[in-house]
A and B are shown apart, each in its own frame.
Chain A
Amino acid sequence: MYRYDEFDHAFVRERVAEFKDQVERRLAGALSEDEFRPLRLRNGLYLQLHAYMLRIAIPYGVLSPKQLRQLAMIGRKWDRGYGHFTTRQNLQFNWVKLVDIPDVLAALAEVEMHCIQTSGNCVRNVTADPFAGAANDELEDPRPWCEILRQWSTYHPEFSWLPRKFKIAISGAAEDRAAIAFHDIGLKIVRGPDAENGFRVFVGGGMGRTPYVGQEIRAFLPKEHLLSYIESILRVYNLHGRRDNIHKARIKILVNQLGIDKFREDVEADWEATHKDAIDLPGDERRRIMSYFAPPELPARPIRDERLDQRRETDPVFANWLKHNVRPHRVPGYSTVVVSLKEPGRTPGDASSDAMELVADLAERFSRSEARVNYTQNLILPHVNTSDVTSLYDILAMHGLATGNHDLLGDMICCPGLDYCNLANARSIPIAKEIAKRFEDPKRQELIGPLRLNMSGCINACGHHHSGNIGILGVDKKGTELYQISLGGSPKDDAAIGSIVGPGFRAEAVPQAIDTIIGTYLAKRSDGETFLDTWRRVGAQPFKEALYGAA
């Protein structure tokens, strides 16, 4: 992974010192809350319902054991012993004190972490395929490009005060595991006409109040022009994006008002007029950054493991976990293991300090000292010897981290909702827990098959409800929490926004409504169909009838 050089270290330390001074001035009265708020937000510090919340960037979801241990230490020393992994591959602490923040930031800087640009109208943490560098369907590792974008965008003077926040995601694999269609810019590494890799560029995707699927602005961008082309997109947005209405300020609104063709024309004109070569990264610097992401040495190993094969035959719970949470690796004899943070009864995405330390140990012992976090709020050990998978499973299972539900109904995305968040209108965590309880039986989830269930506690859609095959949105209706259900969304290559199926449900009726939807799907599906396949074939009517009776 990338390692800070002297410049990076000095840069982050200066920022810590600067914010320490700002906190001291706030406490001493030199800064009012109105003056301090934009400064703290620039450092990832929010004031939520119960306390301050600190959002820590995990660049493109990559974590070293040392970093995980430091996060565990911070959680224990300055918070309540746990953190929440988010849908932006970040980590949030929910109970930190303002007076402790300078110490927390200094502790983060020690392990090359920070909270810069985790909030504010700037380019946010660039997210990526969590299986990058390990997946067997990958064309090219996206992480060096994420790092290049991170360095380029940090403190970028032209793009520090955009009309609104700006999110970029990159995938280098056949399967989209980064929801690139729902980002301001989505990049997919593809093979070009001359067998060279480059980027397919999507723009204007997003969720929130006005969801859009990103549209293709360029079918193929040579890699060396990534920075100059993205600069041109951002420049057109920065000039023409709306600043008079916060709800219309994201690039998706501009792209859809102008139309993709006109937007493309403007971007291409800017790109031609600017000096591409002066902006694009020199080859030497690109190679320097690439070198940090050289794959670990993984000599080919036997594909079959006798112990694993035996266990699969005799232990159905293990077999289920193996099927869903263990993925093939690009190198024969290795596996990528998804460490589930979705045990029924637990808050999705929460990890205790103990769990973080355990995963740090396991990453060292089994995964070449690498760990990842994915946007669906689980941890990942990317490079595990297949012959170690059973040993790893036994340890994870002892600690409640081996629920075999990856990409099944139980693997719900869930935002913090009204249990923590100042913006929320309704709770999401208790609903997720109740649904998890109802569908706890792994056999039932297996029968249902791949299903993305996403839940948000407000219209801002941190819980990605628009892209859920089943989406749940909590709203406030005259002081009562009410939940709207939408069906048919997809975060993958066939990206789609779900449609609201009908009137909302009171909290206590939501688990039964989900059950009714699942029952309808199971009754209607043809052989081999997923939930999404059946939905696309039969449409909304059978689901409406099941939920609300015949019209």
Chain B
Amino acid sequence: MPNVVTANRLTDGIVVYLAPDGSWTEEIARAHFAETEDETQAIEAEAEKAVKQRIVVGVYPMPVELNDGTVDPLSVRERIRAAHRTTLTKDWYDVPL
């Protein structure tokens, strides 16, 4: 199962993901998907540099599932973070987000 590295942007706190080009994106679909443990460690180390550069805070890796071009974080918490909004009331238990 691939991992992505996530954090909050320092200036506004918005949820971001490390992208393959080393930039930070708000869209989880554009994140760097690390396929192995070594690769995960490598992108985590790269992300820590961005902490020192004051781009982001609170870096951590988390697992995602890739299904037909969509990216689904495993935990409810990460699904809510990736959506960048609070959950809707309509049919909230049928549609997780």
Contact = CB atoms under 8 A, between A and B. Distances in A.
Contacts of B21: none
Most buried by A among B84, B87, B88: B87
Contacts of A434: 89, 92-93
Interface string B1-35: 00000001011111100000000000000000000
A434 B13 CA distance: 30
A225 B18 CA distance: 58
Given A29-B54, A51-B12, A99-B12, A418 B92 contact: no
A345 B80 CA distance: 20
A426 B92 CA distance: 13
Contacts of A49: 15, 77, 80-81
B8 to A, nearest CB: 6
Contact of A50 (B13, B74, B75, B89): B13
A27 B74 CA distance: 33
A481 B58 CA distance: 24
B80 A47 contact: no
Contacts of A418: 76-77, 80
Contacts of A48: 13
Interface string B66-97: 00000000111100110011111100110000
Contact of B76 (A27, A427, A429): A427
B35 to A, nearest CB: 22
Contacts of B74: 479
A507 B54 CA distance: 39
Nearest to A37: B57
Given A418-B80, A507-B93, A50 B87 contact: no
B11 A27 contact: yes
A420 interface: yes
A158 to B, nearest CB: 33
B9 to A, nearest CB: 9
A543 to B, nearest CB: 23
Contacts of B12: 51-52, 97-99
A429 B80 CA distance: 13
Contact of B11 (A33, A97, A480): A97
Nearest to B89: A433
A429 B87 CA distance: 8
Interface in A24-68: 26-27, 29, 33, 47-52
A98 B86 contact: no
A21 interface: no
Given A50-B14, A51-B14, A98-B12, A481 B92 contact: no
A424 B77 CA distance: 9
Size range of the interface on B? 20 to 34
Contacts of A52: 12-13
Contacts of A437: 89
A50 B93 contact: no
A479 B84 CA distance: 20
A288 B11 CA distance: 43
Contact of A345 (B51, B87, B89): B89
Interface in A380-428: 418-420, 424, 426-427
A48 B14 CA distance: 9
B92 A27 contact: no
Contact of A98 (B13, B58, B77, B84): B13
A355 B85 CA distance: 21
Contact of A27 (B10, B77, B88): B10
Contacts of B85: 50
Contact of B87 (A33, A51, A97, A430): A430
B11 A508 contact: no
A75 B8 CA distance: 21
Given A98-B11, A418-B76, A508-B93, A47 B87 contact: no
Given A33-B57, A507-B93, A481 B76 contact: yes
Contacts of A98: 10-13
B19 to A, nearest CB: 19
B84 A50 contact: yes
A479 B13 contact: no
B62 to A, nearest CB: 12
A419 B80 contact: yes
Contacts of A479: 74-76
Contacts of B93: 430, 434, 507-508
Contacts of A420: 86
Contacts of B81: 49-50
Most buried by A among B13, B76, B80: B13
B13 A47 contact: yes
Contacts of B51: 33
Contacts of B86: 347, 419-420, 429
A50 B15 contact: yes
Sort A-B residue pairs by CB-CB distance and give the 8 closest, nearest first.
Answer: A419-B86, A97-B12, A508-B93, A51-B13, A52-B13, A433-B89, A430-B92, A33-B57
Interface of B: 8, 10-15, 51, 54, 57-58, 74-77, 80-81, 84-89, 92-93
Interface of A: 26-27, 29, 33, 47-52, 97-99, 345, 347, 418-420, 424, 426-427, 429-430, 433-434, 437, 479-481, 507-508
16 contacts: A27-B11, A33-B51, A33-B57, A47-B8, A47-B13, A47-B58, A49-B80, A418-B76, A418-B77, A426-B76, A427-B87, A430-B88, A430-B89, A433-B92, A479-B76, A481-B76
